[in-house]
Amino acid sequence: MSTEWLAEHLDDPNVVVAESDEDVLLYDTGHIPGAVKMDWHADLNDPVARDYVDGEGFARVMSARGITPDRTIVFYGDNFNWWAAYALWVCSLFGHEDLRLLDGGRQKWVAEGRPLTTDGPGREPSRYPVLPRDDGSIRAFKEDVLAHMGAKGRMVDVRSPGEYSGELTHMPDYPQEGALRGGHVPGAQNVPWKTAANDDGTFRDADELTEIYRAGLGIADGEEIIAYCRIGERSSHTWFVLRHLLGMENVRNYDGSWVEWGNAVRVPIERPDQPIRPPLD
């Protein structure tokens, strides 16, 4: 959704605005009026299970923010909406139907001089139902990636070129931590996630995205695709582009991504300085 559309719908009771940032303290410095905060780490993840919250946990998160299944949720955030896309993807696992991203995110809203507030959202708690989490249709696990790799399926590594080559194990200018090995899943093609965005944080137009992904990677209609990054947030952004902007039906996000793959025992990696070794039986 455009910033113009959202500005006109801030008072619409059927629209809930939700901010999800890399900088989890940013919301408290000023947010879009009426927006609720959705902390990607504290609200959506189960830190013990190393998984997402279950149906009961998700219902608590949504109920506390006054959200019901019939509401439109417009997500936005900092840094080109990467964590906003992640929050949207997690909500998709629970089947919430009307989920949208604010094109340009927090960056564009602020650049246009639109209002921010430190006031609370003022929403009354709701009774969101407990729904099952669907881990099969848009989510991939390590075993799925191994099978997909064995079938020479399409995989998109959305990390930086340095991470893809194995030179880095995290993004540039971040601590190099989280993975014992550098490289990429054998056969994966590299298209850094931010390639899909303009400098102002908005998405590139449909023709440009088609050139980048359909023509550039040779993706055919109906082809099964798995996207991954380091922990699943950048690949959520690319998943949104492929699934919702380009209409590709068979796209899954491997949220375990390189932190899991790079640390996993007896799974193959590919990098320029090492030959590919097949997974051990």
Q: Which CATH number is 157's domain given? A: 3.40.250.10
Residue type present at position 157: D
Does residue 227 carry a pLDDT above 80? yes
Q: In this structure, are 107 and 143 located in the same domain?
A: no
Question: Which among 41, 86, 55, 72 is positioned nearest to 228, based on CA atoms?
Answer: 86
CA distance 19 to 24: 10
Q: Quick check: is 271 in a domain? A: no
The helix or strand, by DSSP H or E, that contains position 62, with its residue range, turns out to be helix 55-64
Q: Quick check: is 201 in a domain? A: yes
Which whole number is the average pLDDT over 52-65?
A: 97
Lowest-pLDDT range of 24-28, 177-181, 216-220, 271-275: 271-275
What is the reported pLDDT for 273?
77
Q: In this structure, are 85 and 168 located in the same domain?
A: no
**Total domains, the chain:** 2
Q: In this structure, are 198 and 88 located in the same domain?
A: no
Domain of residue 246, residue span: 139-261
Pick the more confident residue, 272 or 62: 62
Q: Quick check: is 130 in a domain? A: no
Q: pLDDT grade, residue 139 (50/70/90)?
A: very high
Q: In this structure, are 107 and 144 located in the same domain?
A: no
CA distance 71 to 8: 16
**Mean of per-residue pLDDT scores for the chain:** 95
What is the reported pLDDT for 278?
56
Lowest-pLDDT range of 22-36, 94-108, 169-183: 169-183
Q: In this structure, are 101 and 185 located in the same domain?
A: no
| Beta carbons of 27 and 120 less than 8 angstroms apart | no
Lowest-pLDDT range of 8-17, 25-34, 134-143, 169-178: 169-178
User: What does the block give as tokens for 254?
Assistant: 């491997």
Q: Quick check: is 272 in a domain? A: no
What is the reported pLDDT for 41?
86
CA distance 215 to 279: 31
Q: Quick check: is 104 in a domain? A: yes
What stretches of the chain show up as alpha helix (H) in DSSP?
3-8, 55-64, 82-93, 105-111, 142-150, 161-165, 206-209, 216-217, 233-240, 257-261
Cα pseudo-dihedral 69, 70, 72, 78, rounded to 10? -10
Does residue 79 carry a pLDDT above 90? yes
Residues 6 or more apart from 27 whose CB is under 8 A from it? 19, 21, 35, 37
The whole-angstrom distance between residue 159's C-alpha and the CA centroid of its chain comes to: 13
Does residue 91 carry a pLDDT above 80? yes
Does residue 40 carry a pLDDT above 90? no
Q: In this structure, are 34 and 94 located in the same domain?
A: yes
Q: pLDDT grade, residue 275 (50/70/90)?
A: low
Q: In this structure, are 72 and 162 located in the same domain?
A: no
What is the reported pLDDT for 262?
96
Q: In this structure, are 88 and 157 located in the same domain?
A: no
Q: In this structure, are 148 and 68 located in the same domain?
A: no
Burial profile 192-209: b = 16 or more Cβ within 10 angstroms, e = fewer: bbbbbbeeebbbbeeeeb
Q: In this structure, are 100 and 153 located in the same domain?
A: no
Does residue 277 carry a pLDDT above 70? no
Does residue 12 carry a pLDDT above 60? yes
Q: In this structure, are 103 and 176 located in the same domain?
A: no
Does residue 171 carry a pLDDT above 90? no
Q: Quick check: is 276 in a domain? A: no
Q: In this structure, are 184 and 239 located in the same domain?
A: yes
Q: pLDDT grade, residue 177 (50/70/90)?
A: confident
Q: Quick check: is 185 in a domain? A: yes
What is the reported pLDDT for 281?
55
- Give 271's strand partners: 274
Residues 6 or more apart from 96 whose CB is under 8 A from it? 62, 69, 73
Pairing mode of beta strands 154-157, 251-254: unpaired
94, 111, 128 — which closes off a domain? 111
Does residue 279 carry a pLDDT above 60? no
Q: Quick check: is 150 in a domain? A: yes
From first CA to last CA, the distance across the chain in angstroms is 48
Q: How far is CA 162 from CA 157, 192, 193, in A?
A: 12, 10, 13
Question: What is the set of active-site residues?
Answer: 229
What is the reported pLDDT for 280?
54
Question: Which among 36, 37, 38, 40 is positioned nearest to 52, based on CA atoms?
Answer: 40
What is the reported pLDDT for 173?
79
